Amino acid sequence: MDNDVIEAKNQWHAPKARPSKAPTDFQIQLAKSPYAQMLATPVRQCQGTRARLPSYFMQAFTIMAHPETKQPWRVPLDLTKKHQPAQETSEASDAKAPNLPLPVGAIGYVNSRQKLMEALVNSSSGYGERWKSSYAEIMGKYHSTRRIIQATQWRSDMDTHILELHRRRLVEHLQYTTQLRRGYISRSATWEDSTLAKRQAGGIIWTGPRSGGFANFDDDNATDQIVVPEFSTLEIGKTGKQVPVFNLRRMLGKEHLSKLRLACPSFGGEIMIIKDKRMTVDLRKRLWKLEGYIASYYEHIPDHVAAALNDL
């Protein structure tokens, strides 16, 4: 046999080389980027809309038997467990994935949007039975599994149930990161200070005015306070780098924000900075996912909000 022919045939079947123990500068930047990590997750199809997206932008569900009735129910897969602390690693070291238990049962995915979760229980929305038929197509060759899928129950309050789980996990993650006392989350006196390059901001949190309490907590049209619209960003220095600004007041709600401020008094400040470090990557991803889940994607920003943002 011709060695050149053999080499040509096997060049695409050679085992992938193991990663170098000394990562490149580009690999280090990727490890610190929540956006790269979210986009790199495996693509999955939404069972409600049939859209294909990276799985991080989906909500995964599995089927479990009710402990009393033994009826099959759909339950969210990755929100029921409390936040698991990550191991602190150096910025240039290899981060090893934790050994997580594998889920049991068939897994389905739905776009992580509160409005879609609400539509799945509305028979007039057109999404009511679509997730069942999509699930059945995937598992169609397994007749016993298909019967279980058809009998699967869906919580009527699934949209608010998932929102509550998102908020609990985020509060736990914020508490854990703050209590490390490593400066991963710190206060900022002004918006200008938070955008200084030396602050190393990877994200900015706005918690709302402390002095005014919660008197106007649900009033996003209040003219005496800055309201941060969804998917806001600020430029860091003159570098052109944009970082997200999260409206924690809206994302957590009154109850959970009060608990967070009680457990971590530093959140009594209006503006908090999340440093651009590997240790905060998962936290920033969690903030992004919750913001996307509750987002209304409105096109018009109220005039008083636009004026306040222009003054920053």
Q: Which of 158, 189, 216 is the last residue of a domain?
A: 158
Q: Is residue 55 included in any domain, yes or no?
A: yes
Task: Determine whether 222 is exposed, middle or buried from the number of CB atoms within 10 Å of its CB (0-12, 13-18, 19+).
Answer: middle
Q: Is residue 44 included in any domain, yes or no?
A: yes
- Check if the beta carbon of residue 272 is closer than 8 Å to that of residue 281: no
pLDDT the model gives residue 161:
93
The token pair that represents 31 in the structure block? 């490890």
Distances in Å between the Cα of 48 and the Cα atoms of 51, 64, 73, 84 are 8, 20, 17, 30
| Range from 34-43, 52-61, 201-210, 252-261 carrying the lowest mean pLDDT | 201-210
Q: Is residue 9 included in any domain, yes or no?
A: no
Residues 118 and 176 in one domain: no
Give me the percent of the chain exceeding a pLDDT of 70: 73
| Range from 9-18, 208-217, 255-264 carrying the lowest mean pLDDT | 208-217
Q: Which tens digits make up the pLDDT trace of 23-46?
A: 888 888 888 899 999 999 999 998
Q: Is residue 31 included in any domain, yes or no?
A: yes
Q: Does 302 have pLDDT greater than 70?
A: no
Q: Does 263 have pLDDT greater than 80?
A: yes
Between 7 and 178, whose confidence is greater? Answer: 178
What is the tally of structural domains in the chain?
2
Q: Which tens digits make up the pLDDT trace of 45-79?
A: 988 888 999 999 999 988 888 888 888 888 888 88
Residues 255 and 220 in one domain: yes
Q: Is residue 251 included in any domain, yes or no?
A: yes
Q: Which tens digits make up the pLDDT trace of 100-155?
A: 344 446 788 999 999 988 888 877 776 766 666 665 565 555 566 667 777 778 88
The rounded distance, in Å, linking the Cα atoms of 172 and 160 is: 18
Residues 94 and 187 in one domain: no
Residues 191 and 241 in one domain: yes
Please work out, in degrees rounded to the nearest 5, the angle formed at the alpha carbon of residue 311 by the alpha carbons of 308 and 312: 95
Residues 153 and 180 in one domain: no
Q: In DSSP terms, which residues pair with 110 in a beta bridge? A: 59
pLDDT the model gives residue 86:
61
Q: Is residue 303 included in any domain, yes or no?
A: yes
Using DSSP, state whether 205 is helix, strand or coil.
strand
Residues 140 and 177 in one domain: no
Q: Which tens digits make up the pLDDT trace of 286-295?
A: 999 999 999 9
Q: In DSSP terms, which residues pair with 64 in a beta bridge? A: 73
Range of the domain at 228: 170-310
Q: Which tens digits make up the pLDDT trace of 123-135?
A: 777 676 666 666 5
Q: Does 241 have pLDDT greater than 90?
A: no
Q: Is residue 85 included in any domain, yes or no?
A: yes
Residues 144 and 233 in one domain: no
Residues 174 and 305 in one domain: yes
| Residue 189's pLDDT band (cuts 50, 70, 90) | confident
Residues 81 and 143 in one domain: yes
